[in-house]
Structure 1
Amino acid sequence: MSAFRRHSERASVGDIGDSRWLTVPGCKQVLVVAHSVTYLQRLRAVFSLLEQDPRLQVVCTVPPHQFGEGVHEALAALGIPVIPWRRAVRREFDLALAAGSRGTEQIRARLVRLSHGAGQIKVLRSAREGAASDGNAAGRHEAGTDEGRTAQAQAALRPPAMLSREYLLHEGRVVPAAVALSHERDLAELTRTCPEALPVARVVGDPCHDRIAASLRLRRRYRQALGLGERQKLVVVATTWGPSSAFGSFETLLPRLATELPADRFRTAVLVHPNVWAGHGSRQIRAWLTGFRRRGPVAIPPEADWRSILVAADWIIGDHGSVTSYGTLTSAPVLLARFPDHEVHPDSPAAALARTAPALTAARPLREQLRYAAAEYRRADYARIGAMLSSEPGRFNTNMRSLLYGILGLGRPAFAPVTAALPSPPPLDSWAGLPGSEAA
């Protein structure tokens, strides 16, 4: 058992909130439901709006989940009290926060559900697809081809997963007391996909959008913190999870980054979705990436804050994942290494990006493609995509805090919440020799 796991289990001993053991009794109880590291990262933007209020006690629970690896360690590092899932579902809370749906119908609290990514990108998978989607079925469908148009039409018929009846209803009942949305566009989609949830839908904006926007002015500071030289360029490679992600082609992409980009002029940071780390195990991921890292590319661990690294980028190579879409808020040109039309909603920011960004190809030198992307980059085009991420830019903290305190039945603290700039990242080289990355 790891030290982190022992720490988190010690934090869960006793009954957090039991007035017999509390020095500050009478607090309203807020339960954070952290299914995975990805969900926890999103929820931090929400519970951070509450935890300084002495009228509130924030605790966490970890439901069973296929991508739950690493959650206990992350919670231990944050110092949040943890209640075992089996006990959490037997207690009543004043408010619950979740970015996923699994098991939330068992929670005895008014639940606020929010999306865990940029916009509503991925559509609900059909039963036939399942895990059968492979590199061929989930590869790039070129826009304008018959195959691409068919895939887009099929995707349009399926709802975004997070707005589907499967995610929002249980036995015909709407589970959340509030569904927090990032964009007004989502209300129209919800009208089509799950109209029963419309009465509890609230447009609050997007926390990552606001933090990145508030940090753009610090780009030079982040680059210095990462250890980049004045003449060095940073290429950020971002991949989501699943067979259709860019990670599936890393065995060809990463060697190109290592061999075609001179180390004295380029640095490469690789942002791998936490679900990849959780699904395969951190040691396995680091072992797979070890050879590439020795030649240049640096794998950023899943617990690191990727947003400041994105702000520092000179180019972004990505796929249909949220990080690539958030890259449209920066000044970095984007190249798409992979884009599965059949998995992406055609009205999403990711689909708009696929119609705008150039597609990476194996047929031409990498530096030539980077130069092309820079020459063809038009900030206004990417800004229009970035605007699809939030219809309440800069107002997530204000809107979400108002929603939460309304559900709690408490008056808001008498000060405006601040959207702080992101902290500076550690140097890239500090991630080069992480435990488990050496060859066995």
Structure 2
Amino acid sequence: MDRWIRGPIGLDADRRVTRPGCRNAVVVVPTMTAGTRLLDVLPLLEADHRVQTVFTVPHTGDGWHGVEEFVRAQHGLLLPWHQAVHHRFDLVLAASHRHLDELHGPILLLAHGAGTAKSRRYSRKAGAATNPASGLDRELLTYRGRILPAVLGLATDAELAALRRSCPEALPRALVVGDICLDDMLESVALRETYRHELGIKPGRRLVTVSSTWSADSVFGRLPRLCRALRDTLPPSRYAVAAVLHPNVWTVHGRRQVTAWFADCLRDGLLLIPPDQGWQATMVASDWVIGDYGSTTAYAAALGRPVTVAADGGSAIRSGSIADLVRRNAPGLRYNMALPLQEEIASRASDRLARVVRAAITSRPGQAAAIVRRAMYELLALPEPDGMASTRFLPSPDPLRDVA
């Protein structure tokens, strides 16, 4: 029998709570990727004594391994899904379209990666799809004719124009908010040396980071021994190597298996960044990123880090998308050229790359925290707290340095 927890919501919650009369906000975490993005915005809200935040992980027959463990590690109150769908919340925070039609309350929907519009031409879930999907499609934003988000947070003005073509009835709900993740990363450049110290990068050494999204055409999917090759080729006295893998790599294959695949590299000093925290600070700390068409590589490019593309996604990538801009403005990895020379070529391209990609990721640089907080409090029907909403410094990375 499914059980409910005795928490701060429900008909008799007033007999249990210590802080009565709070607005209730639920953070919906169907994937670790969505969860990490919502943790970027949650600090704008959760310290308010007028607001109670809770988490829920959808359970609809299948799911992603490790998501509940990820949420529990954040020490938030985790509501069972069957309980959450029977309650009306004052605010629903989401960074994924999944299962929004089952929830009750005004939904603030944000992107879970770089850009709201997807870089892939076709949805992975559609099988042999023939119609492109942008992430701003009517089928994702509506349910039986009802527009799901009360506020649809977009990253750029270009996405607003795309929405006008794909789902014009959602335009009154759309709000260009920018990108809080990039804002936090740019703010945290001031702590770059701190992050490098935490990673063990001594003065004079350079940090090369392999950045991989998930799926067979990612860097790790195509070049699983790339980290080994970098460790073997680059002198360890001058170079350290880190690896940042998309959370779905860990979720699908399991932490034990992923660390086993990298065991030889870990013994030789590879810095393997866990999926739940630390990838942003690692990009800030990096000197050179070898990546693919994923969001992490795009954020590195927007930061101004030299980027070399080792897997560009081929025809699966939508023309004009963020991933397409990265691969057209960054050099590709070459197997017949010395790595230090390729780093130099990437460095020469980095300024232009940063300008192009940063403009594609956000049209409201430095403003996302203020815009998102204002939208949350309007949905909560509460006045905003005193003081300006601002970006935050990212926590230091804590890599897996070795295996047992």
Q: Report the 3-state secondary structure (helix = DSSP H, G, I; strand = E; otherwise coil) of the residue aligned with 2:44.
A: coil
Aligned-pair distance for 1:269?
Answer: 0.7
Distance in 2, Cα, partners of 1:102 & 1:265: 45
Task: Report the CA distance between 1:293 and its aligned residue.
Answer: 2.1
AA matched with 2:78: V
Q: Does 1:397 align with 2:369?
A: yes
| 1:110 paired residue number | 106
The answer on whether the counterparts of 2:329 and 2:352 sit within 8 Å (CA) in structure 1 is no
Alignment of 1:224-235 (within 5 A): 224-235=197-208
Change (3 A) 1:166 1:124: farther
Corresponding residue number in structure 2 for 1:371? 344
**Contact 1:179–1:202 (Cα < 8 Å) also in 2:** yes
Q: SS state of the match for residue 160, structure 2?
A: helix
Which amino acid in 1 is paired with 2:150? A
SS in 2 for 1:30: strand
Matches within 5 A, 1:93-242: 93-119=89-115, 120-123=117-120, 125=122, 130=127, 158-160=132-134, 162-242=135-215
Cα drift, residue 353 of structure 1? 1.2
In the alignment, the residues of structure 1 paired with residue 124 and residue 321 of structure 2 have an alpha-carbon distance, to the nearest angstrom, of 22
Aligned to 1:249: 222
Quick check: 1:159–1:193 contact (8 Å CA) kept in 2? no
For 1:289 and 1:22, how far apart are their aligned partners in 2? 47
User: After TM superposition, what 4+ stretches of structure 1 lie above 4 angstroms from structure 2?
Assistant: 126-129
Cα distance in 1 between the residues matched to 2:390 and 2:84:
31
Kept in 1, the 8 Å contact 2:269–2:401? The answer is no
> How far is 1:390 from its partner?
0.8
Q: Is the 8 A contact 1:212 1:329 kept in 2?
A: no
Uncovered stretches (5+) of structure 2, i.e. residues with no partner: none
The answer to whether the aligner puts 1:80 opposite 2:86 as a matched pair is no
Distance 1:391 1:372 in 2: 28
Q: CA deviation at 1:405?
A: 0.9
SS of corresponding position for 2:25: strand
Corresponding residue for 1:274?
A: 247
- The one-letter code of the counterpart of 1:333 is P
How far off its partner does 1:418 sit?
Answer: 2.2
Paired residue for 1:41?
36
Matched, 1:432 2:401: yes
Q: Structure 1 residues 258, 84: closer, same or farther in 2, change over 3 A?
A: same
Deviations 1:183-241, CA, capped at 9 Å, x for gaps: 11110111122222111111111011110111112222221222111111100111111
Deviation at residue 108 of structure 1 after TM alignment: 1.0
Amino acid at match of 2:192: R
- The yes-or-no answer on 1:407 pairing with 2:379 is yes
Distance in 2 separating the partners of 1:416 and 1:371: 41
Q: Aligned pair 1:51/2:46, yes or no?
A: yes
Amino acid at match of 2:311: R
Distance in 2 between the 1:128 and 1:200 partners?
Answer: 26
Partner AA of 2:90 in structure 1: D
Deviation at 1:363, TM superposition (A): 2.8
Gaps of 5+ in 1: 1-8, 134-153
SS in 2 for 1:92: coil
1:350-365, aligned counterparts within 5 Å? Answer: 350-365=323-338
Tell me which of 9, 16, 22 is aligned to 1:21. 16
Q: Distance in 1 between matches of 2:176 and 2:125?
A: 33
Separation (CA, whole Å) in 2 of partners of 1:381 and 1:115: 22
Paired AA for residue 61 in structure 1: T
**Does the Cα contact within 8 Å between 2:216 and 2:222 map onto a contact in 1?**
no
RMSD across aligned C-alpha pairs, in angstroms?
2.2
Aligned residue among 43, 66, 71 for 1:70: 66
Instruction: Tell me which of 322, 325, 333 is aligned to 2:306.
Output: 333
Q: How many residues align?
A: 398
